[in-house]
Structure 1
Amino acid sequence: MKWLLILSFLMFLNDEIIIFDKDNNAQRWYIVNDTVMGGISSSSVKINEKGRLAFSGRVSTENNGGFAMTRMPIDINLSKQHSKIILRVKGDGKQYQLRLKSNESQRYSYVQVFRTNTQEQEIILPLTGFYPAFRGRKLNFGNFSANQIKEVAILIGNKKDEDFSLEIIKIAIQ
């Protein structure tokens, strides 16, 4: 089962790799909620009328649940000059996680938390700041240092019942 998108959807400008923006939004995003473990959280992801990725829903802690996630398989090779991910978002004041995987068969993710506000904002996340985690637990080995990214995901899981709404305007690597 191949879900990898070829680098053809990426746009290279001054060594910037565009993962998502209004001109590069044909990628396939998938939903993974806590329903895979018996929870009842719900979410959706779509491209809205502005060409933004709209990720929204309701997180529920019932039935030991508590998260909603959207993910996209990709195939990006990083060079030494790539040191950060730039997110341009419009949020709801809640905390989210950006997650990376450097291998398709990897069970854990590299995670970095970011907080949104209700305005458009740019968030800079250094690649070396992504720590390894599995099922909400930090793992005891080094932070992200790979030369490739095979998956990008956005997760909300703040250990409370809440509605959420996040617009992704741009995701880029610089």
Structure 2
Amino acid sequence: MLQSVTIFDFSSETNSKDWRIVNDGVMGGRSQGAITVNEEGYGEFAGTISLENYGGFSMVQYSFPALDTKPQNQFTLRIKGDGKRYQFRVRTNQSDRHAYVANFPTNGQWQTIEIPFESMYPVFRGQKLNYPNFPGKQMEEIGFLIGNKKAETFRLIIDKITIE
């Protein structure tokens, strides 16, 4: 059995300033997302998605020094969503323009989501690229994005992100 490696584990001592918000304002949109540590010590990514001015997404990212991901082969997320669909994202290098993504549904309950590395496909600005899927050798950034092509409020509670 492969050893589990923790990428991030929220607790009441966690500083949410280690995470960075990117809203659609970078393109003129009006969506508002934020990340905080809630009273229970979990990360809370929440806000409002607006479709005004061609907007429609909010993203939270966490960058770190290059992490060797071999021999692990999947991400495991412990999250609690609001019944909406989210996207988990990874970048092999912070300087990459593209990210590798996997979409997952939430059901309002605590869930353990397993995402095999090879299932994550490359995208740039929402468009799938004709590149191989995530090679699973190293990473420098992870994130969550919501952009379901509709105006809505959202709330994703994040406990722990590991690779196994």
Q: TM-score range by the shorter chain?
A: over 0.9
TM-score (norm 2): 0.93
Aligned pairs for 1:7-18 within 5 A: 15-18=3-6
Residue 141 (structure 1) shift: 1.2
Residue 85 (structure 1) shift: 0.4
Aligned pairs for 1:126-145 within 5 A: 126-145=116-135
Gaps of 5+ in 1: 1-13
Residue 15 (structure 1) shift: 1.9
> 4+ residue runs of structure 1 moved beyond 3 angstroms?
22-27
Residue of structure 2 in register with 1:85 after alignment: 75
Q: Percent identity?
A: 45
Tell me how far apart the structure 1 counterparts of residues 94 and 141 of structure 2 sit (CA, whole Å).
8
In structure 1, the residue corresponding to 2:118 is in which secondary structure?
helix
Residue 168 (structure 1) shift: 0.4
Tell me how far apart the structure 2 counterparts of residues 73 and 134 of structure 1 sit (CA, whole Å).
18
Answer whether contact 2:122 2:132 (CA < 8 A) is retained: yes
Answer whether contact 2:118 2:136 (CA < 8 A) is retained: no
Query: In the comparison of the two structures, how many residue pairs are matched?
Result: 160
Residue 48 (structure 1) shift: 1.2
Tell me how far apart the structure 2 counterparts of residues 87 and 37 of structure 1 sit (CA, whole Å).
29
Answer whether contact 1:90 1:121 (CA < 8 A) is retained: yes
Residues 60-117 of structure 1: per-residue CA shift (max 9 Å, x gap): 111000000000102311122x011001111100000000000121001000001111
> Which amino acid is the alignment partner of residue 166 of structure 1?
L
Residues 120-173 of structure 1: per-residue CA shift (max 9 Å, x gap): 111100011110000111001100004111100100000000000000011110
Tell me how far apart the structure 2 counterparts of residues 51 and 148 of structure 1 sit (CA, whole Å).
28
Answer whether contact 2:117 2:136 (CA < 8 A) is retained: no
Answer whether contact 1:22 1:50 (CA < 8 A) is retained: no
